[in-house]
C-alpha cells in the first residue's frame, strides 16, 4: 500500500471499466478508499461482483509496482531511463533478427491486456517477419477452439450468458463456474437451476458447483472420453437423440452409431471410476431436456487428448439437437478478462486478426493493404513449444503480461530455459518470476490506468477507462508497445497512433468479425461479434440456420480415449490442478491483496482420507508432493471432496511452485499442456509426532 505519510501524486477517479480478472467481464469502478465497486454493466446488470473484483484496486497502489525500467548490468538489474531501456530492446532483438531471422524471437501476448494492445503486439511480430506470437488461450481453450472450429466453424461460446439462463439442463464438464465465473454462475446459471433446470457436474472433485448438481460424476482425471462416449451410447440406445435434427443438420450418423456400438457403458464407467447408473441418469437428464447446454472448462481442455475431449462433448450436443437455439450449445467459459479478445485480434501463431489463416494469401494481402507489409505465410510457434526450443532455434523473447515461469508446465525447466535466451524483455506490473530471467523489464500500466476494449466470454466488446494515473515512471502498455514497434521495425510510421481508439479503428478494418464496431457504438454498453447481429435470425446465438462453416450440417465424430502421458507406479497418486474463488492464475495480482490473502492465504493439497491414512498423513500436516520433475511441500487438507487416488492443488502461488510437477506432454492438435494429470508421490515431510 502507499505510505499514508507521503502525499500521493496519483489522482484517482471513478470511471466505468471492466474487471481485470475473469472472462465474465463485470463492470467496476473506483469507489474511493482504495476499493472498487461493481456498477450496473452489460453483464452484471445489477452491479454484482465477486471478491476479486472488489479487491481489484489493491494491486494498483501496491508497493511492489514497478516504477522504473530495469536493465541488467553485470548480472544485476539497475534502473535506467526509458530511452536507454527501449533502445536496448530494439538493438538486441534487432541483432537476433539479423543473425538468426525473425523466427528466432517468440512473442508472448497478454490475455490480461486490451484488444488494442494485443493487436499492436501481434502487428510488431508480423511486421518484423514472424508469426511466433501466442497468448494464454494456448493454455486454456486452444483445444476447445480447435475442435469447435473444425466441427462448427467457430471456437467461441455458441450461446450467450443471457440465453443460457433459459436452459433446462446444464452439462458442466471440467469447469467450476461457481468459483471461476462467479457472477455468470450466480446471475445466469443459478436462476435457471432455481427455475427447475438440472445440473450434471463431471469433475473429479466436489466443489461449489457440485453443490447445485443433481448428478455428480466424479471421474478419474483424464477419462472424459470414456464418460462422454458412455453417455452417447445411452442416448442412442434409449432413443434420446433428436432424429429430426440428425436428419437435417448432422452428417456421419451411421458411422458414429457403428463406432459407438462397441462402447460398453459398464466398462467405460469402470475405467472412469464412476457408477454406470449415474451415467445413465446423466444421459436421461440431458437427452430428455428440451434445451440442454454444455459448459466446458479446463478439466476437459487441459489434457493431451483435450481436442478429442471436446469432440466427444460436441457429439452429445449434436446428437440431442442442442445447437443453434437459446438455452443450448457448447459453451467454453473463457479465462482472463481478454483471452477471447487477444485471440480475436490475432495474437495466435496460425491466424491473422479475425481468425483468417496466415496460410491464406487473400487474407495476407488484405492485411498488407493496411500495414504496407505482408505477414509471413508460415504458422509460428505455440508458446509451450517455443519455450521447449529456447536456446535451440529461439534466441529472444518478448513477454507481455504473462508469467510462464510460474504458469507453464514443468515450470522449473521453463525458468532455466529462459536463461538459454540471448535476450528477453518482460513488460509487467511487477518483477515477476519470469522477469527474474529477463535482460530488460519495462514497468507497465495496470487495468486502472488504461483505456481500450476487451472482449468477454460471450463475445461482447466493452470499453475500459482509466481510474488512476500511473505510478512513478511506469507507462501505458500501448505506449510501450508502439515505442518498441517504432524502434524495432522498418515501418515506424505504422506504430504512430493517436490513442487506443485509432488502433481499434484499424482493427475493425483488418478483422472482419469486428467490422462496423466503434468506440461510440460501444459506449457504456457493448457490441458483440459477429457484428452486427444477423437481423434475419434475430438472435445472438450462433449456428441457428447454418453453421459458421457456411454449411447446413456439422459432422458427428467418434473419438477413442487416449491414456494420459504419466503412468502411475505403485503407490503414486494422480495430481490434478485448478483454481479457487479468491485467487487468480499466477497470483501476481491476488497474492498481493491483503484482503484476498486474509480470505485464503495458502495453497493446500486436497487428499482423500484413505490415501492420507495409507501414508500416515493427518489433516494439516506438511506433505511433500514429488515426481521426477520436481517437489513441493504443502499443507494437507484431508477431505472426501476428492476421490481416492486423486490429489488436487491450485497453481496460484509461486511458492509452492506446483507447476514444477506438471509434464511436457502436449495435445498434438492444439499443443495445450496436460495440466490436469501428473503422477506424484505424496509423503509426510516429518513423521507425525504422537501426542500423549
Ligand atoms: N477465481 C478464479 N477465477 C478464474 C481464474 C482463476 O485463476 N481464479 N482463472 C481464469 C482462467 S485463465 C480460466 S482458463 C478459467 C478456468 O475455469 P475452470 O475451467 O473452471 O478452471 P479449473 O479450476 O482449472 O478447472 C475446472 C475443474 O476441472 C476439474 N478437473 C480436473 N481434472 C479433470 C478431468 O480430468 N476431467 C474433468 N472433467 N474435470 C477435471 C477440476 O477439479 C476443476 O474443478 O477461470 C478463469 N476464472
Ligand atoms: N497447473 C496449472 N497451470 C496452469 C493452469 C492450470 O489449470 N493448472 N491454467 C493455465 C491457464 S488456463 C492460464 S490462462 C495460465 C495463466 O498464465 P499467466 O497469463 O502467465 O498468468 P496471469 O497470472 O494471468 O498473468 C500473468 C502476468 O500478467 C501481468 N499483468 C496483469 N495485468 C497486466 C497489465 O495490464 N499489463 C501488463 N503489462 N501486465 C499485466 C501480471 O502481473 C502477471 O505477471 O496459466 C496456466 N497454467
Ligand atoms: S466474476 Fe469475474 S469479472 Fe466479475 S468481478 Fe468476479 S473476477 Fe471480476
Ligand atoms: Mo486460462
Cell of 675: 495440466
Dihedrals phi, psi of 449, to nearest 5 degrees = -120, 15
2: pLDDT confidence band, cut at 50, 70 and 90? very low
Percentage of the chain exceeding pLDDT 70: 97
Task: Say how far apart CA 201 and CA 171 lie, in whole Å.
Answer: 6
Q: Around 673, how many Cα atoms within 13 Å sit in the side-chain half-sphere?
A: 26
Cis amide bond preceding 55, omega within 30: no
Distance, in Å, from the CA atom of 575 to the CA atom of 606, rounded to the nearest integer, reads 10
| Alpha-helix runs per DSSP H in 290-347 | 298-301, 306-319, 339-344
365-400 confidence digits (pLDDT tens): 999 999 999 999 999 999 999 999 999 999 999 999
pLDDT band at 4 (very low <50, low <70, confident <90, very high): very low
Q: How far apart are CA 129 and CA 113, in angstroms?
A: 23
- Position 534 scores a pLDDT of 64
**pLDDT for res 536:** 58
- For residue 9, the model assigns a pLDDT of 64
Kind of pairing between the strands at 622-627 and 678-684: antiparallel
How far is Cα 521 from Cα 435, in angstroms, rounded to an integer?
Answer: 39
pLDDT score, position 1: 42
Kindly report the protein residue whose alpha carbon is nearest to atom 25 of ligand 2: 402
**C-alpha distances in angstroms, 529 versus 80, 157, 510, 526, 542?**
42, 11, 14, 10, 10
Give the distance (Å) from ligand 2 centre to CA of residue 405. 10
Strand partners, 428: 443
* Chain segment 295-315, per-residue pLDDT in tens: 999 999 999 999 999 999 999
pLDDT exceeding 90 applies to what percent of the chain? 96
476: nearest Cα among 498, 443, 501: 443
DSSP characters for 379-445? ----HHHHHHTBTTTB-EEEEES--HHHHSSSHHHHHHHHTTSSEEEEEESS--TTGGG-SEEEE--
Find the mean pLDDT for residues 648-673: 97
Around ligand 2, the residues with Cβ closer than 6 Å are 110, 112-113, 136, 139-140, 298, 302, 335-336, 400-404, 407, 427-430, 432, 444-447, 477, 577-578, 585-586, 588, 651, 658-659, 662, 675
Ligand 1 site, residue 139, Cβ cutoff 6 A: no
207-215: long-range pairs with CB below 8 Å, 24+: 207/176, 207/178, 207/179, 207/641, 208/176, 208/178, 208/179, 208/581, 209/172, 209/175, 209/176, 209/177, 209/178, 209/179, 209/185, 211/178, 212/178, 213/172, 214/285, 215/278, 215/281, 215/282, 215/285
Strand 460-464 relative to strand 452-455: parallel, antiparallel, unpaired? antiparallel
Superfamily of domain 142-332: Dimethylsulfoxide Reductase, domain 2 (3.40.228.10)
Give residues with Cβ within 8 angstroms of 547, minimum separation 6. 152, 153, 553, 554
CATH topology for 70-137+338-524 is Rossmann fold (3.40.50)
Residue written as grid cell 460501444: 522
- Atom of ligand 3 at shortest range from CA of 22: 2
CA dist 108 → 340, 374, 378, 382, 568 (Å): 15, 21, 18, 9, 33
Instruction: For 568-672, list the strands marked E by DSSP.
Output: 573-578, 604-607, 622-627, 630-638, 646-650
- With a Cβ cut-off of 6 Å, ligand 3 is lined by 19, 21-22, 24-26, 49-50, 52-53, 182-183
Report whether 299 contacts 175 (CB < 8 A): yes
Give φ, ψ of 388 to 5 degrees.
Answer: -65, -20
| Rama region for 337: left / alpha / beta (φ>0; ψ in -120 to 50; rest) | alpha
Q: Which three cell numbers stand for residue 650?
A: 491450485
Question: Do the Cβ atoms of 462 and 526 come closer than 8 Å?
Answer: yes
How far, CA to CA in Å, does 114 sit from each of 463, 465, 480, 585?
9, 11, 13, 18
| Mean pLDDT score, 75-80 | 97
What distance in angstroms lies between residue 179's CA and the mean position of ligand 3's atoms? 10
372 Cβ neighbours under 8 A, 6+ residues apart: 491, 494
Assess whether pLDDT exceeds 90 at residue 691. no
- Cβ of 315 closer than 6 Å to ligand 1, yes or no, is no
According to DSSP, residue 492 is labeled G
Which residues have C-beta within 8 Å of that of residue 289, sequence separation ≥ 6?
167, 168, 169, 197, 198, 320, 322
**Domain boundaries defined on the chain:** 70-137+338-524, 142-332, 573-684
Q: Name the closest-CA residue to atom 47, ligand 2.
A: 407
- Nearest CA, atom 28, ligand 2: 401
| Residue 626: other Cβ atoms inside 10 A | 17
* Rg of the chain (C-alpha set): 24
Angle of CA points 239, 242, 248, to nearest 5°: 135
Instruction: Look up residue 214 and give its three cell numbers.
Output: 443433481
Mean pLDDT of 125-139: 98
Three-point CA angle 683, 686, 692, nearest 5°: 120
Alpha carbon of residue 356 to chain centroid = 21
Question: Inter-axis angle of helices 477-488 and 115-128, to 10 degrees?
Answer: 10
Which ranges of 62-114 does DSSP label H, i.e. alpha helix?
Answer: 82-100
**Residue nearest atom 7 of ligand 1, based on CA coordinates:** 584
467 CA distance to ligand 3 centroid (A)?
17
Owner of C-alpha cell 511433500: 624
pLDDT, position 10: 82
Does any ligand 1 atom lie closer than 6 A to the CB of residue 304?
no
b/e map 642-661, b = 16+ CB within 10 Å: bbebbbbbbbbbbebbbbbb
Query: For strand 460-464 and strand 527-528, is the pairing parallel, antiparallel, or unpaired?
Result: antiparallel
Instruction: Output the pLDDT for position 531.
Output: 87
Neighbouring C-alpha atoms within 13 Å toward the C-beta of 520: 1
**The pLDDT value given to residue 3:** 47
**Distance, CA of 214 to CA of 282 (rounded, Å):** 9
- SS3 state at 348: coil
> What are the pLDDT digits (tens) for 565-612?
999 999 999 999 999 999 999 999 999 999 999 999 999 999 999 999
For residue 8, pLDDT over 60 is answered with: no
Q: How far apart are CA 21 and CA 336, in angstroms?
A: 6
> What would the pLDDT profile of 13-72 be if each residue is shown by its tens digit?
999 999 999 999 999 999 999 999 999 999 999 999 999 999 999 999 999 999 999 999
**pLDDT (mean) for 362-366:** 97
Contacts of residue 348, defined as CB under 8 A and 6 or more positions apart, other chains included, come to 133, 134, 135, 137, 138
For the domain made up of 573-684, the CATH class stated in words is mainly beta
525-540 core/surface letters (b: 16 or more CB in 10 A; e: else): ebbbbbbeeeeeeebb
Minimum-distance ligand to the CA of 42?
Answer: 3
pLDDT tens-digit series, residues 440-473? 999 999 999 999 999 999 999 999 999 999 999 9
Neighbours of 66 (CB within 10 A): 23
Length of the chain: 692
Mean pLDDT to the nearest integer, 142-167 = 96
Q: Is the pTM of this model over 0.95?
A: yes
Residue 541 near residue 324 (C-beta atoms within 8 A): yes
Q: Specify the pLDDT at position 540.
A: 87
The reply to whether 573-684 shares the fold of 70-137+338-524 is: no
- The mean pLDDT of 617-633, rounded to a whole number, is 98
Using pLDDT thresholds of 50, 70 and 90, give the confidence band for residue 530. Answer: confident
Instruction: Tell me if 339 sits within 8 A of 135, measured CB to CB.
Output: yes
Taking the centre of ligand 2 as the mean of its atom positions, its distance from the CA of residue 588, in whole angstroms, is 8
pLDDT tens, residue by residue, 477-517: 999 999 999 999 999 999 999 999 999 999 999 999 999 99
The predicted model gives 645-667 an average pLDDT of: 97
Ligand lying nearest the CA atom of residue 41: 3
User: What's the mean per-residue pLDDT of the chain?
Assistant: 96
Inform me whether the pLDDT recorded for 656 exceeds 60: yes
CA distance readout (Å), 255 to 81, 224, 251, 307: 65, 21, 9, 20
pLDDT of residue 7: 43
Question: Is 332 near ligand 1, meaning CB less than 6 Å away?
Answer: no
Rounded distance between C-alpha atoms, residue 29 and residue 18, angstroms: 8
pLDDT at 85: 98
| Res 261 pLDDT > 50 | yes
Distance, CA 49 to ligand 3 centroid (Å)? 6
In this prediction, residue 5 has a pLDDT band, given cuts at 50, 70 and 90, of very low
Write the residue with the smallest CA distance to atom 14 of ligand 2. Answer: 136
Residue 466: its H or E element: none
Report, as an integer, the average pLDDT of 344-368. Answer: 97
Amino acid at each position: 500500500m502507499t505510505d499514508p505519510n507521503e502525499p500521493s501524486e496519483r489522482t484517482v477517479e471513478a470511471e466505468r471499466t471492466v474487471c481485470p480478472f475473469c472472462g465474465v467481464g463485470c463492470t467496476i469502478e473506483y469507489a474511493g478508499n482504495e476499493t472498487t465497486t461493481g456498477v450496473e454493466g452489460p453483464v452484471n446488470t445489477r452491479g454484482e461482483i465477486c471478491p476479486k473484483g472488489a479487491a481489484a484496486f489493491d494491486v494498483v497502489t501496491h508497493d511492489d509496482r514497478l516504477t522504473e525500467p530495469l536493465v541488467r548490468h553485470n548480472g544485476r538489474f539497475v534502473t535506467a531511463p526509458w530511452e536507454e531501456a527501449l533502445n536496448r530492446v530494439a538493438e538486441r532483438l534487432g541483432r537476433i533478427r539479423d543473425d538468426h531471422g525473425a523466427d528466432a524471437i517468440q512473442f508472448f501476448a497478454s490475455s490480461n491486456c486490451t484488444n488494442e494492445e494485443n493487436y499492436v503486439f501481434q502487428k510488431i511480430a508480423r511486421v518484423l517477419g514472424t508469426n511466433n506470437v501466442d497468448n494464454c488461450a494456448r493454455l486454456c481453450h486452444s483445444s476447445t477452439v480447435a475442435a469447435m472450429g473444425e466441427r462448427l466453424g467457430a471456437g467461441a461460446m455458441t450461446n450467450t450468458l443471457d440465453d443460457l439462463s433459459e436452459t433446462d439442463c446444464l452439462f458442466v464438464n471440467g469447469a467450476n463456474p461457481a468459483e471461476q465465473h462467479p457472477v455468470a454462475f450466480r446471475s445466469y446459471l443459478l436462476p435457471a437451476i432455481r427455475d427447475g433446470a438440472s445440473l450434471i457436474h463431471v469433475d473429479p472433485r466436489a466443489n461449489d458447483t457440485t453443490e447445485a448438481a443433481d448428478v455428480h460424476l466424479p471421474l478419474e482425471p483424464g477419462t472424459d472420453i470414456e464418460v462422454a462416449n458412455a453417455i452417447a451410447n445411452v442416448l442412442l440406445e434409449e432413443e434420446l437423440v433428436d432424429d429430426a435434427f440428425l436428419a437435417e443438420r448432422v452428417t456421419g450418423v451411421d458411422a458414429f452409431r457403428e463406432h459407438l456400438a462397441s462402447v460398453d457403458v459398464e466398462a467405460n464407467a469402470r475405467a472412469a471410476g464412476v457408477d454406470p447408473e449415474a451415467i445413465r441418469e446423466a444421459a436421461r437428464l440431458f437427452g430428455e431436456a428440451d434445451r440442454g447446454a454444455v459448459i466446458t472448462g479446463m478439466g476437459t481442455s487441459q489434457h493431451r487428448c483435450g481436442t478429442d475431449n471436446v469432440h466427444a462433448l460436441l457429439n452429445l450436443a449434436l446428437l440431442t439437437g442442442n445447437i443453434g437455439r437459446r438455452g443450448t450449445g457448447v459453451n467454453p467459459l473463457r479465462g482472463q478478462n481478454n483471452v477471447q479478445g487477444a485471440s480475436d485480434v490475432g495474437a495466435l501463431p496460425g491466424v491473422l486478426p479475425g481468425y483468417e489463416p496466415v496460410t491464406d494469401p487473400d487474407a495476407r494481402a488484405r492485411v498488407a493493404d493496411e500495414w504496407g507489409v505482408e505477414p509471413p505465410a508460415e504458422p509460428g510457434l505455440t508458446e509451450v513449444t517455443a519455450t521447449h526450443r529456447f536456446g535451440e532455434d529461439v534466441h529472444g523473447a518478448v513477454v507481455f503480461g504473462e508469467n510462464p515461469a510460474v504458469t507453464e508446465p514443468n515450470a522449473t525447466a521453463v525458468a532455466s530455459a529462459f536463461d538459454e535466451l540471448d535476450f528477453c524483455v518482460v513488460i509487467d506490473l511487477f518483477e515477476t518470476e519470469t522477469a527474474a530471467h529477463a535482460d530488460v523489464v519495462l514497468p507497465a500500466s495496470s487495468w486502472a490506468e488504461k483505456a481500450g476494449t476487451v472482449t468477454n466470454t460471450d463475445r461482447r466488446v466493452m470499453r475500459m477507462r482509466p481510474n488512476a494515473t500511473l505510478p512513478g515512471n511506469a507507462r501505458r502498455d500501448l505506449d510501450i508497445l508502439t515505442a518498441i514497434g517504432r524502434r524495432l521495425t522498418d515501418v515506424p510510421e505504422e506504430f504512430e497512433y493517436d490513442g487506443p481508439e485509432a488502433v481499434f479503428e484499424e482493427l475493425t478494418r483488418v478483422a472482419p468479425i469486428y467490422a462496423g464496431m466503434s468506440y461510440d457504438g460501444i459506449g457504456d454498453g457493448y457490441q458483440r461479434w459477429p457484428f452486427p447481429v444477423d437481423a434475419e435470425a434475430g438472435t445472438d446465438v450462433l449456428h441457428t440456420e447454418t453453421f459458421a462453416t457456411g454449411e447446413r450440417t456439422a459432422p458427428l465424430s467418434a473419438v477413442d480415449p487416449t491414456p494420459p502421458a504419466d503412468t502411475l507406479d505403485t503407490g503414486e497418486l494422480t495430481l490434478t490442478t485448478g483454481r479457487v474463488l479468491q485467487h487468480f492464475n499466477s497470483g501476481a495480482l491476488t497474492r498481493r491483496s491483503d484482503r484476498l490473502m486474509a480470505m485464503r492465504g495458502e495453497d493446500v493439497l486436497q487428499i482423500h482420507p484413505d490415501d492420507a491414512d495409507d501414508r500416515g498423513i493427518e489433516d494439516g500436516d506438511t506433505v511433500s508432493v514429488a515426481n521426477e520433475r520436481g517437489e513441493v511441500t504443502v499443507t494437507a487438507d484431508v477431505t472426501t471432496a476428492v476421490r481416492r487416488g486423486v490429489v488436487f492443488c491450485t497453481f496460484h502461488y509461486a511458492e509452492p511452485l506446483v507447476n514444477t510437477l506438471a509434464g511436457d506432454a502436449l495435445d498434438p492438435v492444439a499443443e495445450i499442456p496436460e495440466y490436469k494429470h501428473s503422477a506424484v508421490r505424496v509423503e509426510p515431510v516429518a513423521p507425525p509426532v504422537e501426542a500423549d
